[in-house]
Amino acid sequence: MKTAFRLLLEYDGSRYQGWQKQGPRQTAQGVRTVAGTLERVLFEAGLSVSTLGGSGRTDAGVHALGQVAHLHLDGRPVKPFELQRILDEGLPHDIAVRSIAPCPAAFHARHDALTRTYLYQIALRRTALAKPFVWWVKGALDLARLREAWMAFEGTHDVSAFADLSRGDDPRCGVTAIDCVEDGSLALLRVTADHFLHRQVRRMVGAAVACAQGKARIEALRGDLARPTPEANLAWGALAAPAAGLFLEHVAYPGDPGPGPLRAAGVR
């Protein structure tokens, strides 16, 4: 017998090599992933995982406030409250399952998603407490230019200059919502799109910061969105922001609400 669940998770990605479970060789070498940790806890509880898939393969060190996953279990029926108890008791402190609900067996966390929203946090001062969750940009940062550069990504563009492309990737990305606000000692960058490519958001953030520091021109950024080149890909790739400040904030499915007000990452 097979049971299917939709999970909503949050995690601190600092200790993990991303969401996706690794192959047997990497697992044997101690490569830790979020999905692999979930599977281990379920296995130790005597449950048989048929399928576990996430809405997005967050990179190493990237966090999540609203990762969505589908989970298929074989064997005896399990109630959501029982599954919640198993995960609450077994998971390490830096992974939390916020909710569990039964779902159709056909639900697929990645294929059924309409949009994904990412949040990036830039620290405007040195911080002793928030280092794992922000990028402290040393030197002057022109916030008006940061916002202008960030907003240049709005709309549908070929983002070949701002992502690591794999064979078969669709380089056109439709950014449906984007914002940049100052929140105390943080600059918050948010972006929503139909899909994202590998390291795309980190390259976008790095490009906007470079423009805000006078190290790159906004006109060049716009030009490389309109006419991407391999040379531009190398140049912007070298400026990619670190993983620490990046959060998968929200994943939307048919009938779901939006991500809500833009605010700094914390308990939600």
Contact 141, 215 (CB under 8 A): no
Q: In angstroms, rounded to a whole number, what is the distance separating the alpha carbons of residues 117 and 188?
A: 13
pLDDT at residue 28 in the model: 44
Helix, strand, coil percent content, the chain, rounded in steps of 5: 30, 30, 40
pLDDT at residue 2 in the model: 84
Residues 6+ apart with CB under 8 A from 6: 68, 69, 70, 71, 100, 101, 102, 103, 107, 109
Same fold across 2-102 and 115-252 = yes
Query: What integer best gives the mean pLDDT of the chain?
Result: 93
- Domain limits of the chain? 2-102, 115-252
Q: In angstroms, rounded to a whole number, what is the distance separating the alpha carbons of residues 27 and 163?
A: 27
Structure confidence by residue, pLDDT tens digits, 212-248: 999 999 999 999 999 999 999 999 999 999 999 999 9
Q: Is 59 an annotated catalytic residue?
A: yes
Contact 121, 190 (CB under 8 A): no
pLDDT at residue 205 in the model: 98
Structure confidence by residue, pLDDT tens digits, 21-72: 765 555 545 789 999 999 999 999 999 999 999 998 888 999 999 999 999 9
* Stated pTM of the model: 0.94
- Cα angle for residues 11, 17, 18 (degrees, 5° grid): 50
pLDDT at residue 166 in the model: 80
Q: What is the mean pLDDT of residues 117-131?
A: 93
pLDDT at residue 10 in the model: 97
Q: Domain 115-252 adopts which CATH fold?
A: Alpha-Beta Plaits (3.30.70)
Structure confidence by residue, pLDDT tens digits, 76-108: 889 999 999 999 999 999 999 999 999 999 999
Percent of the chain predicted with pLDDT > 90: 83
Contact 186, 134 (CB under 8 A): yes
CA atoms within 13 A on the CB side of 6: 18
Structure confidence by residue, pLDDT tens digits, 160-203: 999 988 877 888 999 999 999 999 999 999 999 999 998 999 99
Question: DSSP for 158-194?
Answer: E-GGGSB--TT---EEEEEEEEEEEETTEEEEEEEES
Is the pLDDT reported for residue 149 higher than 80? yes
Contact 61, 243 (CB under 8 A): yes
Q: What stretches of the chain show up as alpha helix (H) in DSSP?
A: 24-28, 34-44, 80-90, 143-151, 200-212, 218-226, 230-237
pLDDT at residue 167 in the model: 77
Residue in 12, 59, 94, 169 annotated catalytic = 59
128 φ, ψ (degrees, to nearest 5):
-90, -20
Contact 209, 122 (CB under 8 A): yes
Q: Is 253 labelled a binding residue?
A: no
The CATH number of the domain covering residues in 2-102: 3.30.70.580
